[in-house]
Amino acid sequence: MIAELVLAMLFGLLLLGIHRKVIARIQRRPGPPVWQEILHAAKFSFKTTWVPATASGALFAGIVLVAVGIWTAAFFVMMTGGSLLIIFGIYMLHKIVEHAFGLSSGSPYGKFGGVRSVISAASEIPLFVSVAVIGLFTGSLELTEITAWEAVHGPLFFTAFPAVVAMYLVLLSKMPFGPFSIVESKELVSGYKTEHFGAWRAGLEVCNGLKTTVLLATFLLVFAGQLPVLWMVIGMILLTVSLSFACAVTPMLSPFDSVTIQSLVTALMLVYAGIVFTGVLP
């Protein structure tokens, strides 16, 4: 499992590199090489590492381990076909991790990045009503049972398309340089991660690589079913490119607009869930 974990982390970082490259090419810039995020992680591992004098030391360092730990757990759950509820629970807990990253340093930039993270969590939590929709259709939230259901009834992509849109929005909100990336907006320097340098930032890069792989792979598993490894890889790259297009052509929203749009989608999803609930269940 360790080899798979390292591969997943490297592949996630490669996807983030592809993401940056595609955005740059759409915006007519050369952009960094696709392996730039892998180089970043390696580079930060050997940089000088310190804890700011104003920081809450144990929390400042400990939160990096928590970030890597939760996404390692999510990867393990995904690989063993565990519960979708755990994976998306971890996704939401990542918001708290960002909050802790931001507040622990004492920096005003980190603090506002963390605050924005919590505000955006308020509008993203209800999006998980789409998880309930998946449960209503398949009768289970275990990934193995969901994929088994899809093998019989066909992909959920067609059966529960509004849930696909909502989950796509969740993915988009986690991609850097996107319309919802208010937590690391440039007016806050690097937002919640401004003060985390050296090995701490390398840990954060590892976490980002794992997070990207887990979220994209879970999206495909849930909505397209169990695919061969090669198709899974191709699907994740295509999904990344589509997200990059959305990020490249959409300006970053203000925090208010970001929350408003996510809340509107949530309202639509609640209506859809209500329809599914009355239509699917006797």
Partner 1 sequence: MGSLGGIPLYVLEFGDELVYFSPYTITLFLLALTFTLLAIVSRPERQVDVAFGGDAYTTKIISVDEMRFRRFMAIACGLASMGAMVTGDVFNFTLFTAMVGITNVGIVAAVKSPHVQDAAYQYGLVALSATVPLFGAAALYAAATGSLSMIELAKGTLPAVPLVAKALLVIGVVGEGMAPFYAAKAEMFRAPGAPYVIMCSLSSLLIFLRVAEVVMIG
Would you say 133 and 273 are in contact if contact means Cβ atoms under 8 Å apart? yes
Where do we find the tokens 């999803």?
269
Rounded to 5 degrees, what angle do the CA atoms 19, 25, 27 make? 105
The SS3 assignment for 83 reads strand
Both tokens assigned to 230: 């090669």
Q: H-type helices in the chain, by residue range?
A: 2-26, 36-45, 57-79, 84-104, 108-124, 129-138, 143-153, 156-159, 161-174, 199-224, 229-249, 255-280
Tell me: does residue 103 bind partner 1 (CB under 8 A). yes
CB of 220 vs partner 1, minimal distance in Å: 21
Calpha distance 230→234 (Å, rounded): 6
Where do we find the tokens 């757990």?
73
Nearest to 88 by CA among 64, 60, 121: 121
Binding window for partner 1 (CB under 8 A); candidates: 6-14, 39-47, 126-134, 234-242: 126-134
Cβ proximity to partner 1, 49 vs 83, nearer residue: 83
- Interface with partner 1 (CB under 8 A), residue from 71, 112, 180, 200: 112
Calpha distance 85→95 (Å, rounded): 16
Binding window for partner 1 (CB under 8 A); candidates: 36-44, 60-68, 186-194, 244-252: 60-68
Calpha distance 115→175 (Å, rounded): 18
CB of 39 vs partner 1, minimal distance in Å: 31
Cβ proximity to partner 1, 119 vs 246, nearer residue: 119
- Interface with partner 1 (CB under 8 A), residue from 104, 212, 262, 266: 104
CB of 82 vs partner 1, minimal distance in Å: 6
Cross-strand pairs, 142: 83
Annotate each residue in 140-159 with x if it binds partner 1 (CB under 8 A) or - if it does not, as one string. xxx--x--------------
Calpha distance 63→69 (Å, rounded): 9
Binding window for partner 1 (CB under 8 A); candidates: 139-147, 197-205, 208-216, 219-227: 139-147
Tell me: does residue 55 bind partner 1 (CB under 8 A). yes
- Interface with partner 1 (CB under 8 A), residue from 85, 232, 233, 237: 85
Cβ proximity to partner 1, 116 vs 201, nearer residue: 116
Q: Which residues contact partner 1 (rule: CB under 8 A)?
A: 53-60, 62-63, 66, 70, 73, 77, 82-83, 85-86, 89-90, 92-93, 95-96, 99-100, 103-108, 111-112, 114-115, 118-119, 121-122, 125, 128, 131-132, 135, 139-142, 145, 259
